[in-house]
Structure 1
Amino acid sequence: MSLRTYTYQIQTDPMSRVESGQIEAKNVEDAKRQLRVQYMLSNLPDDTSIVDQSELDENQAREKSAKARDLLRVLAEHHAWTKDSNQGARANLNNLNLSDMVMPGSQLQNADMAGADFSGADLSDANLANANLVRASLHGTNLKDADLSGADLSDADLRGAILTGATLDGADLWRANLMGCVISPTALHKALSCKTK
């Protein structure tokens, strides 16, 4: 039987501090036995918390896989729609949590992604031309060489985003937070329609 990872919290008596950690065990009963030995207790306190971290990790992996499958379906429908408006459907990713997703080269031109969370995602080389990204979270997003021409980025969070080589011609950056983003001054001035001397 393979070992599983369990996260625990234990307070051996009301005056002691709560201790937490992880242990490798065959099952919950084995985890309890190990904790009794470790803390030299005949019985564990009633409020001892033991969580199967392996199960949580597996559930998160399943959820991420399901999210990726759903996203691929939406992208395929959107791709068909961009070729022929009578086919497929425009991508609607409004308010979805897509943080840390790896989507380089995605074809999301004209997609509706208002309020979507792309923080930490990889959208390098993506086509986001004329996309609706109003209030989108692009905090720390890799947008290297992405096409954001004509995109609506008003009120978007672009803190720490990587925008090197990104095309921002005609993008709406009204009240967008660009603090700490990686972008050349020339590209930023051009995007903001600044006049340089």
Structure 2
Amino acid sequence: MTTTFAYAARAGTALIALALTAFPAAAQSRATANFALTGQIEAGTCAIGAVNRTMPTASASDFPNVAATAGGATPSFDTFNLALTGCSGVTGATITFGAAADAADGQADAFKNKAATNPAPYTGLLLKETNCATGATVTPGKTLNRTFATATHNVPLCAQYYKLAGGLVTKGSISTAFTLTVTFL
């Protein structure tokens, strides 16, 4: 089918004619498809300050002098912060301190003395929240949940030498190491 349109206008004395012809459009094919995008936004991260401390020296006489009695040595109290800094896109964290396998033999609340040379017998290390005198014990494998709204967050902790029940403390070395696992929220 052809349709002709004519347009005429007078320009000066000449007549201008314009003809437009329309032709039928060619048949077109068409298909559709679903389009979906999915994803997930993960929490940001923080830098975690390494904890590598030399604790105060204590004497064997600072510990309970009864084999069956467990207890800490007050002169060994060492207060410090676990620093989470440069936090971006983070509203909190879960912090896990080692694992149950890091516990001292027969004392699930204390971390094992892992001194490689001359370990002091019947000793471990106790970790507490905030302060050693009244803070809650952070046992091996325990998870602390923290929320925060700033780019820097400090977790106050205190470590102390600890006498395990079963014998007397004598001269020797005390040390421990464990993996700190932090999941950002």
Superposed pair shares fold, TM > 0.5: no
Q: TM-score, normalised by structure 2?
A: 0.21
Higher strand fraction (1 or 2): 2
TM-score, normalising length: structure 1: 0.20
Q: Relative contact order, CA 8 A, sep 6+: which one is greater?
A: 2
Q: Which has the larger radius of gyration?
A: 2
